Amino acid sequence: MEARGSQIVEDMREAPLLDVLRALQSDAGHLARESLESLSRSKLISLDRIYGIAASYPEFRFDDEEEGRRPPREEAPLPAFATVAEGEVHRRMLAPGPLTSRYGKEATSLGRYRELGGMSAIARIEDGMKPEQVLSEVLLGDLTRRHGTWQRVATYAWDRVIVANNQTGDPLAGQVSALLEQDPYAFAEGIYLAAYATGAREGYLFLGPRYAHLSEPLTAAAADMKLFSKIDFELEVIIGPGILVSSEDSVPLAAMHGERPVPASEGKFSEKVWSKPVLVENAGLFTVLAAVLGTRERVNNRLYQVTGDVREAGVIEAPAETTVSELIGEAGSHGRPQVLVGGLSGTFVSGDGLERPVSDYERSDNPRWRTLHVLAAEDDALEMAAAGAAYNARNLCGYCIPCRIGSVRMAELLAAPGHDLETLAETAAMLEKCGLCNVGKGAGALVRSAIEMRA
């Protein structure tokens, strides 16, 4: 066993730490101590640090002796409002548009993609469109909130990297993953356009474990795109940690650096990975880029998932400025109900809040903030928040003190009879204000807004 593990480590000397750990576990069924010691010597990383990193990923298992030292993990059930993720709701298209025009049409080969109107944007490059012109389409439009990052990365003279993060962290948000499944070549076309615009030579797509089956078709789509477009760019698909905070940009970058997959403070990993300038965007944005350049029209659509007390749950493609009431109305909701916007780290809204765009409630440009769950008349927002808080307390990373203490304290207060709403509101406000990442802050907002629904 030791010789086999040492050989794997030697053969993967230049590979990222996460890839080596997965190879070792795949071979032996667990991470043997002898293999980790060999890895420690090879990469000059302390054994304690390797154990700390591996223990942050739920997928890894150790020798029986080491497993016995790990603290028992008490699983919290997924809240009922989030269990729709276990069905097919994120594959049910209610209102299609330019991004989803090939939905359900089996656009899973390059030939079929072209038959259905794909590759129009790459054709513009073949007709002489310059990288700076593609970049201008991004900088002058509503495609991204990170105009400065695109411009900064494009100005560097050395190797640049693009990271597409398709991890939402929230099991409720699967709408963009379903789009990648239905239309993988649109994503591939979009990320190759981004590479052309910025001069990037390498890219990485992070998928959550739930969508690991998309790795093969997306890798094939990227390979076809490279041959057809002649753009010098390589895309690698990586299966990420699949944790609640995976939507944070710093989490995939930390994994690439071989560090614990936890959110980072402002500035860390935000500009470079492996000393190379890096552009991080959610994976859905690249599909939008392909549509913008392919149709030559202003396309600022996003995908929203609507569930709960509606006539038909599913996915709606709509402009980014669409209001909550317009979206739930499209799904068949009547009256002016309470709505949870943003899932497990979301906000309960009602009344005038329904007339605000969903973008007002988004904490970052990630699909996890574009889920809407309509409450039925018998639903109680505080009871839903209690279930969400219990799940968050068990699944947030606990890296920062506000989350490590605040999330657990909120769950305890909500589980106690006769809720102490004053203390609960103070704790939720503290977490929303002081949490390190948007997911932790949202966990506070979930409880804070539920209390406000009682007022």
- Taking the CA atoms of residue 217, residue 112, residue 200 and residue 155 in that order, the dihedral angle to the nearest 10 degrees is -140
3-state helix, strand, coil in the chain (%, to 5): 55, 15, 35
Mapped onto helix, strand or coil, the DSSP state of residue 279 is strand
338 assigned to some structural domain = yes
CATH code, 346? 1.20.1440.230
Strand order in the sheet with 202-207: 234-239, 202-207, 161-165, 276-282, 272-273
Q: What is residue 73's predicted lDDT score, i.e. its pLDDT?
A: 64
Same domain, 65 and 118: no
Residues 157 and 24 in one domain: no
d(Cα 278, Cα 200) in Å, to the nearest integer?
A: 9
For residue 94, give the nearest of 309, 344, 278, 317 by alpha carbon. 317
Between strands 234-239 and 202-207, the pairing is parallel
Domain with residue 14: its CATH number is 1.10.10
Q: Is the dihedral of CA 96, 97, 99, 100 positive or negative?
A: positive
**Cα dihedral: 320, 326, 329, 335 (round 10):** 140
User: Residue 147 domain-assigned?
Assistant: yes
Q: Are residues 291 and 333 in the same domain?
A: no
Q: Are 256 and 155 spatial neighbours (Cβ–Cβ below 8 Å)?
A: no
Which pLDDT value is given to residue 237? 93
Task: Write down the pLDDT at residue 15.
Answer: 76
Structural domain including 198 reads 97-295
Please tell me whether residues 350 and 266 are part of one structural domain: no
Residues 165 and 274 both lie in one domain: yes
Q: Give residue 69's pLDDT.
A: 75
The arrangement of strands across the sheet holding 371-374 comes to 93-95, 314-319, 301-308, 371-374, 339-341, 347-349
Domains held by the chain: number: 3
Predicted local confidence at residue 134, as pLDDT: 95
Contacts of 435 (CB under 8 A, 6+ apart): 400, 402, 403, 406, 441, 443, 444
Predicted confidence at residue 87, as pLDDT, reads 62
pLDDT of residue 160: 94
Q: Looking at the structure, tell me whether residues 342 and 427 fall in a common domain.
A: yes
Q: Are strands 314-319 and 234-239 parallel, antiparallel or unpaired?
A: unpaired
**Is the same domain home to 160 and 179?**
yes
CA separation for the pair 197, 356 (Å, rounded): 34
Q: Is residue 84, in this structure, part of any structural domain at all?
A: no
For residue 131, which amino acid is it?
Answer: P
Instruction: For residues 305 and 360, state if they share a domain.
Output: yes
Structural domain contains residue 11: yes
Q: How many residues does the chain have?
A: 455
Query: CA nearest 370: which of 342, 349, 344?
Result: 342
Sequence letter at residue 345? S
User: Quick check: 223 and 110 in contact, CB under 8 A?
Assistant: no
CA distance 105 to 316: 17
Residue 20 belongs to some domain of the structure: yes
Residues 305 and 291 in one domain: no
Sole residue written with tokens 């990037």: 200
Domain harbouring 110, CATH code: 3.40.50.11540
Residue 243 and residue 378 share a domain:
no
In whole angstroms, give the CA distance from residue 440 to residue 393: 10
Give the residue from 256, 271, 295 where a domain finishes: 295
Looking at the structure, do residues 264 and 345 belong to the same domain, yes or no? no
Domain boundary among 295, 317, 341: 295
**pLDDT reported for residue 389:** 96
Do residues 7 and 38 touch, judged by C-beta distance below 8 A? no
pTM, two decimals, is 0.90
Identify whether residues 217 and 277 lie together within a single domain: yes
Please identify, among 250, 277, 295, the residue that sits at the C-terminal boundary of a domain: 295
pLDDT by residue for the chain (455 residues), tens only, comes to: 456 778 888 878 777 788 889 899 999 999 999 999 999 998 888 999 899 888 888 788 998 888 877 766 666 788 988 876 556 788 889 999 999 999 989 999 999 999 999 999 999 999 999 999 999 999 988 888 889 999 999 999 888 999 999 998 888 888 999 999 999 999 999 999 999 999 999 999 999 888 999 999 999 999 999 999 999 999 999 988 888 999 998 899 888 887 888 898 655 545 677 788 999 999 999 999 999 999 877 888 999 999 999 999 999 999 999 999 999 999 999 888 999 999 999 999 999 999 999 999 999 889 999 999 999 999 999 999 999 999 999 999 888 999 999 999 999 999 998 889 999 999 999 999 999 999 999 999 999 999 999 86
In a domain, 174, yes or no: yes
The reply to whether 86 falls in a domain is no
In a domain, 241, yes or no: yes
- Bridge partners of 304, per DSSP, are 316
CB atoms within 10 A of CB 72: 4
DSSP string, 52-66: HHHHTSTT--B-HHH
**CB-based burial label for 70 (10 Å; 0-12, 13-18, 19+):** exposed
CA distance 17 to 57: 13
Other Cβ atoms closer than 10 A to 238: 18
Among 336, 327, 328, 333, CA closest to 311 = 333
